[in-house]
Amino acid sequence: MKILKRTADFNVNNSVSNSLSCNTSKFSIPKKTRLFVDQTIRERAEAKKIHNTFQQGFLRLRLTTAKQAFENLNENQTTGPNPITLEANVLGLGPNYMIRILVTNISEGLSYTELYILCRPEDTDVNPRVIDLPLLPSAVPISLTVSANLKSQISGKIKILLCKKSNPKPLGVTTVILPAAEEDFEI
């Protein structure tokens, strides 16, 4: 593609002289370095080996991707929808609170074994932090209580995790926000 000037002259005589001037000018091509020459010689001599190494790495990448996808699919199928619900209520006026946790199995059969509740506090002291759960019968809520004390005058936050001992990921999570304590309030 050529870009022409607005004042271009399309006579045959001018185009011949322009083509001659284009042929006489040389492109500035850099000289080949020794490193470049050595690399091209190596690539020609070992083309099959280089290609096989690339293909092997590419297949290894595809294999690890397929394994990870398979693990993710199996993990979602084994856990499935969580048949256990968590409900948390905050009781008290502060700075000492009681948190009542209701754990209910909503599936038809018995719950998983080795379940426990883990409390992760922010700006609060929680006692107990870990509670082992008994075997949960169907549709019977189990009530647990946890005491929480605010460390400062600002509100606190507690994450309550339902976990299984053999699974590193929690089965259920709920968050409780503790209100700031009222200093002027008297009973």
Q: Which of 53-62, 106-115, 129-138, 178-187 has the lowest mean pLDDT?
A: 178-187
Query: Any bridge partners for residue 88, and if so which?
Result: 101
**Contact by Cβ (8 Å): 91, 97:** yes
Query: pLDDT (tens digit, 9 = 90+) per residue, 130-185?
Result: 999 988 888 889 999 999 998 888 888 999 999 988 887 888 899 999 888 776 55
In 10 A of CB 135, how many CB atoms?
Answer: 12
pLDDT computed for residue 25 by the predictor: 63
pLDDT band (50, 70, 90) for residue 121: very high
pLDDT computed for residue 43 by the predictor: 92
Percentage of residues of the chain with pLDDT beyond 70: 84
Per-residue pLDDT, averaged over 102-114, amounts to 84
pLDDT computed for residue 6 by the predictor: 78
Residues, the chain, total? 187
pLDDT computed for residue 186 by the predictor: 56
Of 24-33, 110-119, 120-129, the range with the highest mean pLDDT is 120-129
Coil, strand or helix at 146: strand
